[in-house]
Amino acid sequence: MATIAEYVEARELAKALTLREIRGQYKGSILGWLWSLLNPLTTVLVFSFLFAVLRAPAPVGDPSGLKFYALYFFTGLVPWNFFSATVSGSAGSLVNQGSLISKVYFPRAIVVVSKLGAVGFTSLMEMTVAVVLLLIAGNMVLPWLPVIVLLLVLQSCLALGIGLILSVANVYFRDVGHFVGILLQMAFYSAPIVYPIGLVEQKLGADRLWIYRLNPLVDLIEAYHHVLDDQRWPSFGWLAYVAAWAVASLGLGVLMFNRFEPRLAEEL
C-alpha cells in the first residue's frame, strides 16, 4: 500500500502521465483537441435536428433562461462527458498501463488520477466553449464560475472513486470494461441531459420526484443547468446528497484500491 508521502513524491510522474495521455490522444491529427469538441457538438446537432423534424417544442426546462434546446443539451452534455469518460477511461486504465506497472514501481493510483486529469483537461476545453456560447446567447455566467469549479471538483471525487473501484475490478474480470459501457449508456438517459427534469415531474408527480432524484447524477447535472442556464443557486439539500455520494465513493474507492494494489503487478 502506497503512502501519502509517496503520492506527493510521484506528482511529477502524475503530471507526465497526464501530459502523455493528452499529447498521445491528439498526436498526428491536424484538428487536435478540436475533435473532442466536434463529438459533443455532433450529438447536440443530431438531437436538435430530431426535435425540429418531430416539431416538438424545445424542452429547455422551466423556468429557464435558455431558449435554444441545443444549448440546454450542451450544458448538460459537457459535465456528463466528463463523468462518463473518466469512469470508462479509468476502468481500462490499469490494464492499459500493464507494461508500465509490471516494470516500474510507483503508487498505482497515479494511473487513474492521470486519466482523470487528461479527461478533465478536455472537459475544461468543452466547458470554456459552453461558457462562450452562453455569453453569446446573453447569459452572464462569469460570476458563477467559482460555483462551476466547485461542481467540477465534487464530480471529480465521485468519478474518481468509481474509477478506482472499476480499474481494479477490471484487472480481475476483464469484462467489467464492457459492462461499464452499457451501464453508462443507461445512466446517460437517467439524468436530465436530453430532457428537462420537468418532464419527469409531470409523469411522476411532484411528490414522487424524490425517487427519481435518488440517482446522484440527476442533481449533479441539474445543478449545472441551474447555474449555467438560469444563473440561480442549485438545491443545496440535494447537492449535499450528491456530495455524500462523492465522499462515500471516494472512500470506498481508496479502501478497495489499497487492498488490491500490492498484487496488481502479478495479476496483470
Partner 1 sequence: MSAPSEPAITVDHVSKRFRRYMVKNQSVKSALFKRSRGTYEENWVLDDVSLDIPTGSTYGLIGSNGSGKSTLLKCMARILKPDKGSITVNGRLSALIELGAGFHPELSGRENVYLNGAVLGLKRREIDQRFDEIVSFAGRQVSEAIDQPIKTYSSGMYVRLGFSIAVNVEPEVLLVDEVLAVGDEEFQRRCHQRFEELSSSGRTVVIVSHALSTVAAMCDQVAWLERGKLSHVGNPQQVVDSYLTRLDFGNAAGAGGPASPARALPDVRITDITLDGVGRPLDHTTTELGEQVALVRSGQSVRLRMGYETDQAVPTPVFALAIHTLDGTLAANPSTLATAMPEKVDGTGVVELEVPSLMLVPGAYTLGAAILDAGGEHAIDKKLRLVRFEVAGADPGEVRGIVALNGRWGGSLLGGSGSGSGSGPGPGAGPAR
DSSP-derived secondary structure for 136-168: HTT---GGGHHHHHHHHHHHHHHHHHHHHHHHH
Q: Would you say 12 or 207 has its CB closer to partner 1?
A: 12
- Give the CA dihedral 188, 190, 196, 201, nearest 10 degrees: 180
Q: Would you say 23 or 203 has its CB closer to partner 1?
A: 23
Q: How far is the CB of 262 from partner 1 (least distance, A)?
A: 4
Q: Which of 229, 27, 43 is nearest to 144 (CA)?
A: 229
Q: Would you say 108 or 226 has its CB closer to partner 1?
A: 108
Q: Would you say 27 or 55 has its CB closer to partner 1?
A: 27
Q: Which amino acid is at 106?
A: F
Distances (CA, A) of 25 to 31, 129, 200: 12, 20, 38
Q: How far is the CB of 180 from partner 1 (least distance, A)?
A: 12
Q: How far is the CB of 194 from partner 1 (least distance, A)?
A: 30
Q: How far is the CB of 57 from partner 1 (least distance, A)?
A: 43
Q: How far is the CB of 149 from partner 1 (least distance, A)?
A: 26
- Residues interacting with partner 1, by CB under 8 A? 9, 12-13, 15-17, 19-20, 23-24, 27-28, 99-106, 172-176, 179, 262-263, 265-266
| Three-state SS at 1 | coil
Q: Would you say 53 or 99 has its CB closer to partner 1?
A: 99
Q: How far is the CB of 72 from partner 1 (least distance, A)?
A: 37
Q: Cell numbers of 80, please?
A: 456528463
Q: Would you say 102 or 190 has its CB closer to partner 1?
A: 102
Q: Which of 102, 90, 110 is nearest to 10 (CA)?
A: 110
Which residues, other chains included, contact 191 with Cβ-Cβ below 8 Å and sequence gap of 6+? Answer: 76, 80, 215, 217, 218, 220, 221
